[in-house]
Structure 1
Amino acid sequence: MDEIKEKIAAHHLLISRVRKEIGKALVGQQNLVDGLLTGLLSGGHVLIEGVPGLAKTSAVMALASTVQADFKRIQFTPDLLPADLVGTEIYRPKMGDFITRKGPLFNNIILADEINRAPSKVQSALLEAMQEKQVTIGDTTYPLPDPFLVLATQNPIEQEGTYTLPEAQVDRFMLKILIDYPDRSQELEILKKTGFAHHESIEPVVTPVELKEMADLIREIYVDDKLKEYIVDLVFATRNPSKYGMDIGGHVAFGASPRATLFLAQAARVSAFLQGRAYVTPQDIKNTAPDVLRHRIILSFEAEAEEITSDDIIHILFDSVAVP
């Protein structure tokens, strides 16, 4: 344990530098930064939802700039085709053969901007890439680079010309982060920084090798057996709420999948790492559970009619499931 603590302390300085560089382009939004770092350090994809103008794209680009890795931004539009993502085979008449032109998915960090603007066949093209870390072009399957991370944004208020993400694809995202407007002091700082000061360039501070070292270290962070049971109980309570004394009146149509259990344990370990600890606490689980569970709890029509959100269900979960 002492050896792990020393390694965490050394790498924690590197994370502090990453936060400092991101702070050059982003004011506040601590939950968003923590969520992006969680995805980066665990290799989990992140879906960011918020109204326009909240620096969703800027935050992702700032994070990508701190990593010495290949980055590609893809603007999703209704006329996008699957080949625009994965690539295609091109026929060469003079040579009489085909060559493969790889698409933008063959980069380490992908920003899928306004992902819900592309039709379902394009969104489905991401499924194999996000889950299997590979894509198929023609008859050949190509592995994607390591690390491979999809950071997607979507706008919740403008529904014209958008396509709802299928549940199968939403479940591929480790986290769904909701962001809101900054407070008055933060907005004043944004004004001063972007409107009356020179833009500071963001320096890369982390290499893919260092990312892998941190990911390996995070897997060694201690999780007590009682906390493992707590994680399983939280997920099981979304499927069988009555067994945990939850009176939610049939508001949940489908609970979280086993993937939620795995992701919640991963996210809790990253939360401990970001705070410089070699062990997970119940608070780490509570801090990360909303982002892991909110897009995996499928609400019933009754819940939607009563304007009950998945976050409301998660609050009831915390009150009903005993903390070890």
Structure 2
Amino acid sequence: MSSLSAGHTAHPASTFLGLTSEHSASSAPPCASPSESAQAGSWRSQRVLPPTLQSDGTLSQPVKHKVHLQTQQEVKMRMTGMALRVIRTDGFLALYNGLSASLCRQMTYSLTRFAIYETARDRLSQGPQGPLPFYQKVLLGAAGGFTGGFVGTPADMVNVSYSHALDGMYRVLREEGLKKLFSGATMASSRGALVTVGQLSCYDQAKQLVLTTGFLSDNIFTHFLASFIAGGCATFLCQPMDVLKTRLMNSQGEYRGVVHCAVETARLGPLAFYKGFVPAAIRLVPHTVLTFVFLEQLRKYFGIKVLA
């Protein structure tokens, strides 16, 4: 419930951030020679990237709406300008295109990762040892996120060209088979592990540290502060993978794979892995804050105690 509410609220940012690709994503990174560019056309005509490389893998994103600021050497249209353009041309509700796919993903990906992480954490926390050490929380978060990413792959690959998410998954299953629904699951699962470590593991640890200071009690401000920190950690951890995924998606065949893409991106400097960091944080931090604020309120009213 908390993830669904947060995903719905953060969805407009997901939508208009991705539309910046129309202005600049068509230009490939400057690392291919003319001969390589010629080969790229042939290569691309024979190879199609897995659908999940063309989607977010994060929390509440439709396939076509992603942060393509990551591929730009120069930003030609800012977020606010793009948002206003979308509203003027297509109306306010266009900011919510792909909402059904986003909600479907929350009900698979987030449900799985939260269930695995919290169930395992609560069981391991029972006894005299008290809260888990941070490294164990990281391992649990990675395991839960990896599994959740795999389970959420079908919803992750369904784009807004279908009437709704279930229609898209049914048509893909009928026309291309079960294997197609899970293409790109490795990338989605890896990103799910990073996001879950940043969100769940870091939230629990940040909340524990805040409470041990003695300055704050277990109240909504503590939840806000801990979730804000967790959102920043999640953005920092998964942004390099998002950059690589977006570059691969928009490439003209100049990359031989993920490793080659990482090497070429590294040549632009360390900050190249964090292009589009601010827009990503604007989306992911509020999403994380809302998720945990709602979750903590549900815990409070249902009488659930957390030992971690």
Structure 1 length as normaliser, TM-score? 0.24
**Higher strand fraction (1 or 2):** 1
Q: Which has the larger radius of gyration?
A: 1
Structure 2 length as normaliser, TM-score? 0.25
**Higher helix fraction (1 or 2):** 2
